[in-house]
Homo-oligomer: A and B are copies of this chain.
Amino acid sequence: MNRLITLLTDFGFEDNFVGIIKGVIMQVNPEAITVDISHKVRPHDIFAAAFLLEGAYKYFPKGSIHAVVVDPGVGTERNIILVKTRDYFFIAPDNGVLGLALKNEPVEKIVEVTNSKYFLRDLSCTFHGRDIIAPVAAFLSKGAGLNRFGKEIRYMREIALPPLVREPNRIIGKIIYIDSFGNIITNVKGLDIKGISANLRVKIKDKIIAGLNKSYSSVEKNSPLNLINSFGYLEISVNCARAKDFFGVEIGECVELLK
């Protein structure tokens, strides 16, 4: 059985939303185990959710069900989809949020979730996490086959990393995420700098950070550094301090890799 259901939402912890979703899951399958990936995704930020899911999903046991509820389009015509890959299940609104995770995870089947037999009876138009995603994930965790939930479809929306801009003398990347330690994560992956990592120079806000380090503490406290982080992304950090504040940057700003 696939008892483990992970939850990734923008619900925060102030309200009762996350607790309710867990209650619904346990009403359907008392043996289910839920694990929070995060509930502090910036409200409606599909890209951030996609990024956090990509980093986390493969650390869970095979057969785990990953449920995502970042759903600015709740109540509109957008579908809810169930995706099976070789090792995992995913359930989410069809808004692209699975795009980054599924780039490396060959999709075996996509189902449009429509069978209201598996929904809560009083279906709202504002809380499909509770009324659809939670019970469907829970029935899936009890072993219900994918075909039960709706008909197979061919396509789903998928967001992608913003592309790198490659120029003769530089590669232009972007800040895609800033973690809670203030570390700056870019859309540059380890492979992208294969040839130039020995002489890497990263320009961020008129400052140039040279070299590629292995760990934060490779440099003095309060000094900046580049590293390929534990998820494979180029990260610009400051040892024991917040790089975000050190450089004064925001998500979406550019960084340059100078050749």
B230 and A124 contact, CB distance less than 8 A:
yes
Question: What separation, in Å, do the CA atoms of A214 and B16 have in the docked complex?
Answer: 21
Rounded to whole Å, the gap between the CB of A164 and the closest CB of chain B is 23
- The A interface, classified by DSSP as helix, strand, loop or mixed, is loop
Instruction: Please encode chain A, from 25 to 41, with 1 for each CB lying within 8 Å of some chain B CB and 0 for all others.
Output: 01100100101111110
Q: In the complex, which range does the number of interface residues on chain A fall in?
A: 35 or more
Please tell me if the beta carbons of A11 and B180 are within 8 angstroms of each other in the complex: yes
Given A36-B18, A59-B27: A75 and B230 interface contact (C-beta under 8 Å): no
B44 touches A126 (CB 8 A): no
B35 touches A23 (CB 8 A): yes
Most buried by B among A8, A33, A56, A76: A56
* Cβ B60 vs Cβ A216 within 8 A: no
A19 partner, pick from B6, B30, B75, B179, beta carbons under 8 A: B6
Interface flag for A181 (CB, 8 Å): yes
B16 touches A216 (CB 8 A): no
Contacts of A19 on B, CB cut-off 8 Å? 6, 8, 35-38, 56
A24 interface residue (CB < 8 Å to B): yes
Whether A229 is near chain B, meaning CB under 8 Å from some CB there, is yes
**Chain A residues numbered 51-87 whose CB sits less than 8 Å from any CB in chain B:** 52-53, 55-56, 59-61, 64, 72-76
A-B contact pairs, 22 of them (CB 8 A): A13-B13, A13-B39, A13-B180, A15-B38, A15-B52, A15-B179, A16-B38, A16-B53, A19-B35, A20-B55, A20-B56, A23-B59, A44-B240, A72-B217, A72-B240, A74-B216, A75-B214, A75-B218, A76-B215, A126-B215, A130-B230, A131-B230
Known pairs A13-B180, A74-B215; list 14 more (Cβ under 8 Å).
Answer: A3-B30, A12-B180, A13-B39, A14-B179, A15-B52, A16-B53, A16-B55, A20-B55, A20-B56, A22-B35, A23-B56, A26-B61, A75-B217, A130-B230
